[in-house]
Amino acid sequence: MSLSKEQKTFAIKELEKGNRVNLTCDSYEISLMIQRHKMKLVVGIYVDGTVKGIWCAEHEKHPEAKYLAPYFINVYKPSFKQKLIKLCGKRRAYKEYPDLDAKHEHRLPYFANVTKAINHLIKVSDSIELLTEMAT
């Protein structure tokens, strides 16, 4: 089951007001709320009321981690890659550094944007249901 368009807009509006939104995703209870992180407002994600640091570090081993926000970091800085290609040439650079374009993925328990949080949960969940009551 997926969220209808009305439920999705309701959840986004509730989060923008500062209210908590509760969802059920694949038998996990997901809570979304606005919170402060490093002097900016973000959407915090709680799976069954908690967030564990091990989910962020070893996200492949824990199924709960798929609900957290994915972030990607280049293994090599783009400036290093550019200088290396200029110095050695593209063929030699990729020969000596086969993982020159590799990225490292990690998960964080917050999203910077309300819409991104809801869309991510819809994308990764097989079944999603809104638990917060809609006012009619």
Rg (CA), the chain: 19
Parent domain of 43: 1-68+109-136
If one counts the domains in the chain, the total is 2
Per-residue pLDDT reduced to its tens digit, 85-120:
999 999 999 999 999 999 998 899 999 999 999 999
**pTM score, whole prediction:** 0.81
pLDDT in tens, 8-54: 899 889 888 888 999 999 889 999 999 999 899 999 999 998 988 88
Q: Can you give the pLDDT at residue 98?
A: 94
Secondary structure E strands in the chain:
21-25, 28-37, 40-47, 69-74, 103-108, 110-111, 128-130
Continuous segment of H or E residues that includes residue 135: none
Task: Say yes or no: 91 and 131 in one domain.
Answer: no
Query: Residue 132 pLDDT more than 80?
Result: no
